Every structure is written in C-alpha cells, then in structure tokens.
Structure 1
Amino acid sequence: MSKTIVDEYPSMKVARESEEKAEVTPLKLGERIKSIRTKLGMTLEEASQQTGLARSTLSKIENEQISPTFQAMQKLAHGLHIDMPQLFEPPKKIQATGRRDITRKTMGKPHPTQTYEHELLATQLSKKKMMPFKSRVRARAFSEYSDWIRHGGEEFLLVLSGEITFYCEFYEPVTLNEGDSVYYDANMGHMLVSTSAEDALILWVTSAG
C-alpha cells in the first residue's frame, strides 16, 4: 500500500491534527437564543413581552439577520431569566452511550426489608443516574417504622396496584390509589403503609443523590 506524504512525515500529521483540534466552530448567537427560548417553552410573542424587544426584532436576531446590541442582549438575558454568559455557551453535543438493560417480569433482584419487599430492576448497569425498583408494601401502620426514611436525591413513586398512605414530614398524609403518583425530595422524611386488602405494589425510581 502506498504511503501518503503525511505517513512519511509523522510530524506533519501531528501538526495537522493540532490544527484540526484548534478549529472552533463560530457561535451562531441567533440559534443559541432560539434554542434557549424554545427550551423554556416560550413563543416569540411571549419572549417579546418578557424581554421588551419587538417580535420582529427577535425574529431577525434568531434568524441571524441582525446582530443584537449589548442593550438588547441585556434585555434578552433578563427576560429569559439567564445570565449573560449563557447566551455565548455553545449547545452541548448530545452523544448516545448505547446503555440498555432489560429486566423480565419477576426477574429483578429481590431485596426484602421489614416494611417492604423490593425487587431491584436494571441491576446489570453500573453507575446509573436512576435506580428503578418495584416494591410490595408490607407495612400496615405508621408505628411499624422506627424513624423517617430519608436519603439523597429525588424520588418518583407510582402505585401499580392497591392503595397506600404516603407520609412525609412536611405535608399531611395522602391516600394514593392505583395509577396515582408522587414526586418528592427524598431528603425529606417519608414512609408508606398499605391500606388496601392486599399489600400495595408500587414502582419507585430514585435519582442519584
């Protein structure tokens, strides 16, 4: 196989790679502003009202037809509730990691406790940002707990079957039935009891602390 001149002179290859790495994609400020606005769920009209800039002016800025003045950028930052430097941050490149873990019915990892019978899901993945698990709520009274349960992160709970009473230290107890859900700060003391004839079954998803 014939060699190219770059293969013959490795130093040239290093230099070329360094130049390629040094290339910086120019920031398209209009696209950046539009991206921020759409992520906030704002229409052009709503953004116009929030920033005090005319709708036509905003449209021209977003379509790179005009460059915003410093005063206009101040209004944009204030109206979009962001700091000025955020307007110049390039959008983060989304890269798929290809992680996947299937858990067949009843094939989760059992983890029984005094008040719950947990079935841990997606146990093959390490360093997960969320921990999903199903739980059968054995507890039938508040007094079965020696103290509040609390841990880092946030938590989502969905009742799959039965009925529970959800207790937490800053709110009144609430009854949740099949299909009901609650999202809460897991640092706040919380606990569950089954109030249906059969033990309630729930899905829990806990974020990393």
Structure 2
Amino acid sequence: MKDHYCSISTVDNDARYLARLLTDRQRQWPQVQDDLETIYNELQQQMRVASVNLTQWTHLSDDKFLLSTPASEVLDTVRLLKGALSVREEIARLGTRYFVTNLLYRNATRGLPISQSELDGKAERVIHLMDEQTQKLNADIFQMEELSIAEDLRIGPCSSNSEHFNALFLKQQIEGKDRNEAGSWKLSMSLWQSTTPYA
C-alpha cells in the first residue's frame, strides 16, 4: 500500500499536511510524485462535479423549469448555487495544495531523472484548469444569484405557502452562511408574510 502523504477525504487536514511538508524535507521523489498525483486526481474529480452542476443548471433553465412553481425554482436554484460555491472552494483549495507541494519539493528532483520543465508543465496545466473552471463557475453563480433575487421579488402563485416559506428560509440560511449576512430569518419571515393571505 502506498503511503500517501495527503488524505484528501479529510476536510480539516490542510494545516497538518503543510506542517509535514515543512518538517520532512527528506522525502523521496516517488512519495512526492504520489502526493501530486493524488491531489491532481481529486482536482479532476472536482472538475467533473462542476461539469455535472453546470449541466443540471442548464436543464433547469429550460422552458419546463420556467413553468415550475416559485418555491421549486428557489429550492433547485439554491441547491445548485450551494454546490457551485462548494466546488469552487474545493478547486481553489486543491490547486493551492498542488502548487505548494510542487514548489516545496522542487529541489527533490535535482539529480533525479525528473526534469524541472516537467514539473513546470504540470503546474501550468493545473493553473489553466483552475482558471477555466473558475470562470465558468463564476458565470453560473452570477446567473443563479440573479435568478434567486428575481424569484424573491416575483409575485406569483405558489403550490403552498408553507412550501414557499420553507424554500425561502433554506435559501436565506445558505446565503447567510456563505456570505456571512445577518438577519436571514427576519427576511424570510417578511417574505413569507407577504405571500400568506392570513399574515
């Protein structure tokens, strides 16, 4: 079994991983190469997740989606927005980990049959992938946020007031967490009351 230094599945291990990189400078190149390959593969996986998210968003933007209830539009948009924000963060985290590992162990290839140009080429590919995918995600996130705002302001029939309330409350919870905005509950209540005939 390979002794991979990075355990990508552990969310909070970035600090420990970086600490090991700084304290163990004598690791052999095959171990470093294994780490870089593991990080790169996980980065590719996140790219696939982002692609699936984009495909789902494209489908939800068609005529069928536009005929759905405001509540379902809010829920679907919030779900995809949360996914897009999460994968964008993961891509940035994994890309940074790849670069740090690449730079700290660049000297490990001196005297070994690994060229500096090969390391540079792989790093450049990672930069290109990150930049390309981040631009796509940013565009999707902007559209999702725009639609979400439009749905908040739109007056139309809901399948039920409770469904609309739950959708708006979930949306505000996510936005409050991701943007650190206060007062999400108060805003959800006011929006719900404006759509409730007995409020």
Normalization by structure 1: what TM-score? Answer: 0.20
Which structure has more relative contact order (CA 8 Å, sep 6+)? It is 2
Please say which structure displays the higher CA radius of gyration.
1
Higher strand share: 1
